[in-house]
A and B are shown apart, each in its own frame.
Chain A
């Protein structure tokens, strides 16, 4: 593919891009699975199209993607299946689209969760990221719409954010293909285990709850050694979350990752 890059664009076609093969819908067997999550209307579908070479219609409005879309790409000879989840503001499972996104992260357990965030209104986007980081540690933050942020005079310290969160963070402008190389490198590093999050995610359990949550989490950890997110599950159990309770009863937390069903379909 490198030969097809115009010479002027070659600052954009570094080592990672040289090995990228967009596979579109040809899923077949895959080595790693990547989930795309984020708030509505932050450009998830644009990032999805950029990675897979597909042309899913993207629109400038929230709620454009209501079901999951899947595509694939090949990087360094490894196949990545990528799933575009519906945009949500939280993972509490209040509506069908939130449920689709949450169940996928919880029970299909992707190798990498790529959280796409709108750099122009980061605060709201970070709230979802923090919730996702309680569920999985294998997260890459994609700060999209950096071009728009620049136009609005907003300056985002990408490295600082990565340090604070303890995960790779990449600034992109997916519409123009800006930042694709670094994004691919980050996805690859997390998928292959070159990058492992060491710091604990930012604490979201209120002080008053830490005792009961810790107690329950220890019990979960003892019963399900493979469970990735006992503290989060403990918190949801205390809140009486029906789907998480059912998941526990049916042993979905320590079995093999499953293919989640689409709602109503």
Chain B
């Protein structure tokens, strides 16, 4: 390309004759032209700028002292609404799908002469795990996602970033990481893609590696369920929902603390450097379109996440049934795995069943709790429901879970450690794949998986050790 070389040489020669700061002049010229145009064609008969109520609201929601408490209150309220509201429909779904349809399907299949092993694999394995996923996840998601989307459409999320910006700058990360972390609250894979808004490669890597500390869609229901069944149960019924909501909120805050801590660690070890500044725009508050928000969050988020969970749950259900029913030397494969992992799990305050569930559920976080329930049920044999008549079943659903898990050796410590482990473990396979695609590096993908896993091990082990020491 001869002509291009000639032109480039010419440009090079001309550049020497230019005033030193001509780039600034170009930028200045553009904005002058833009403001002249705007001044000529935009009239503000009603005075300038933002509506008064929006300014007043921002004084509270982004205020130096009020911003973070207001944020805590908002998120805690959303969680409380989710926990209180999901209780009854969750119980009804479980009653229908698990307690009514499951025995009916099984007996019908056997009655028409389906081989017992096939009925077991299809109904006790695949159907039951899908049924658990739907009854455990659908109600909380159907409340949590619309509420979250309403806040998002209202324009609140950039304010969250604004409130947290100073903290992220302090630990040597990019302020925009507050935005990508907030997006991670929805889905970590989306949060990882969103880090593209960060210019500096160093700060972008930090944001990618630590995004997993934002509790995602797949893990909110796990947290909510455990908090309801174990933590809320410790409190008097009147405040149980509030206590459960606060404990989930505490786990989410802990996640942000871990994100800040590991960002600090990374920016002082593997990814050294100064943090760069940026300007964050706070959009005006916009009244969200209620119907549209409901539609998008129910169809795009709730059904999308639920569908993904069901798709992963069906083969996982089959796998669980197989490992629980294939005999190897007098015991099932599941028994060997659970027994083998039990000592390690005990150190971490967990049970062998939980660790096996995490191995089976590597493809998707969403199915961890259903997997745990299935494994527990299959290993313990059929559950004897201590609930009375079917009419009040949905109110006792929590008690059934509580009873079933306590019978399998669970304590409050187990639930607390599982909540911690659910926050602190490797990202799901989709997120890991996204991290690999975004960084193009196996090394950083491995770091993103190993760092939270190591932290999870340390956190669970410490909590279990201290808990047992205090309990005597």
- A residues sitting closer than 8 Å to B (CB atoms) are 40-41, 55, 57-63, 66-67, 86, 90, 94-97, 120, 122-124, 126-127, 129-131, 148, 151-157, 160-161, 164-165, 175, 202-206, 208-209, 212, 215-216, 219-220, 223, 234-235, 237-240, 245, 248-251, 263-265
Query: In the complex, what's the smallest C-beta–C-beta distance from A248 to chain B, in angstroms?
Result: 5
Chain A, residue nearest B22 (CB): A209
Of B3, B41, B199, most buried by chain A (CB within 10 Å of CB) is: B41
With a cutoff of 8 Å between Cβ atoms, the chain A residues found around residue B14 in the complex are 212, 215-216, 238
Query: Does B261 make an interface contact (CB < 8 A)?
Result: no
- Among A63, A212, A235, the residue within 8 A (CB) of B17 is A212
Query: In the complex, what's the smallest C-beta–C-beta distance from A206 to chain B, in angstroms?
Result: 4
With a cutoff of 8 Å between Cβ atoms, the chain B residues found around residue A157 in the complex are 41-43
- Among B3, B26, B33, B38, the residue within 8 A (CB) of A235 is B26
Of the listed stretches B225-233, B281-289, B421-429, name the one at the interface; the rest are far from the partner chain: B281-289
Is the Cβ of A154 less than 8 Å from the Cβ of B8? Answer: no
Query: In the complex, what's the smallest C-beta–C-beta distance from B18 to chain A, in angstroms?
Result: 7
Is the Cβ of A202 less than 8 Å from the Cβ of B152? Answer: no
Query: In the complex, what's the smallest C-beta–C-beta distance from B49 to chain A, in angstroms?
Result: 8
- Among A130, A151, A249, A250, the residue within 8 A (CB) of B30 is A130
With a cutoff of 8 Å between Cβ atoms, the chain B residues found around residue A223 in the complex are 3-4, 6-7
For the complex of A and B, the 3 pairs showing the least CB-CB separation, nearest first, are A153-B46, A126-B34, A123-B38
Of B30, B31, B43, B301, most buried by chain A (CB within 10 Å of CB) is: B30
Is the Cβ of B18 less than 8 Å from the Cβ of A152? Answer: no
Known A60-B152, A202-B33, A216-B11; contact A160-B40, beta-carbon cutoff 8 A: yes
A55 to B299, CA, bound (A): 10
- Given contacts A122-B42, A123-B42, A209-B25, 6 further A-B pairs with CB under 8 A are A57-B301, A120-B284, A154-B44, A204-B30, A238-B11, A263-B196
Is the Cβ of B30 less than 8 Å from the Cβ of A131? Answer: yes
- Among B6, B22, B157, the residue within 8 A (CB) of A206 is B22
Is the Cβ of B157 less than 8 Å from the Cβ of A94? Answer: no
Query: Does B329 make an interface contact (CB < 8 A)?
Result: no
A198 to B43, CA, bound (A): 28
Is the Cβ of B197 less than 8 Å from the Cβ of A155? Answer: no
With a cutoff of 8 Å between Cβ atoms, the chain B residues found around residue A124 in the complex are 34
Known A161-B41, A239-B23; contact A96-B281, beta-carbon cutoff 8 A: no
With a cutoff of 8 Å between Cβ atoms, the chain A residues found around residue B11 in the complex are 216, 234, 237-238
Is the Cβ of B25 less than 8 Å from the Cβ of A249? Answer: no
With a cutoff of 8 Å between Cβ atoms, the chain A residues found around residue B299 in the complex are 55
Query: Does B45 make an interface contact (CB < 8 A)?
Result: yes
With a cutoff of 8 Å between Cβ atoms, the chain A residues found around residue B374 in the complex are none
A250 to B49, CA, bound (A): 47
A152 to B286, CA, bound (A): 12
With a cutoff of 8 Å between Cβ atoms, the chain A residues found around residue B289 in the complex are 175
Query: Does B403 make an interface contact (CB < 8 A)?
Result: no
Query: Does B67 make an interface contact (CB < 8 A)?
Result: no
- Among A96, A129, A215, A238, the residue within 8 A (CB) of B196 is A96
- Among B4, B43, B154, the residue within 8 A (CB) of A155 is B43
Of A62, A160, A208, A223, most buried by chain B (CB within 10 Å of CB) is: A62
Query: Does B69 make an interface contact (CB < 8 A)?
Result: no
Chain A, residue nearest B279 (CB): A89
A67 to B23, CA, bound (A): 28
Query: Does B155 make an interface contact (CB < 8 A)?
Result: yes
Instruction: Mark contacts of B275-302 with chain A using CB atoms, 8 A cut-off: 1 yes-contact digit, 0 otherwise.
Output: 0000011011110110000011001110
Is the Cβ of A264 less than 8 Å from the Cβ of B197? Answer: no
Query: Does B29 make an interface contact (CB < 8 A)?
Result: yes
Query: In the complex, what's the smallest C-beta–C-beta distance from A260 to chain B, in angstroms?
Result: 15
A62 to B49, CA, bound (A): 19
Chain B, residue nearest A164 (CB): B37
Chain A, residue nearest B19 (CB): A208
Known A124-B34, A249-B1; contact A160-B179, beta-carbon cutoff 8 A: no
Is the Cβ of B29 less than 8 Å from the Cβ of A205? Answer: yes
Chain B, residue nearest A94 (CB): B199
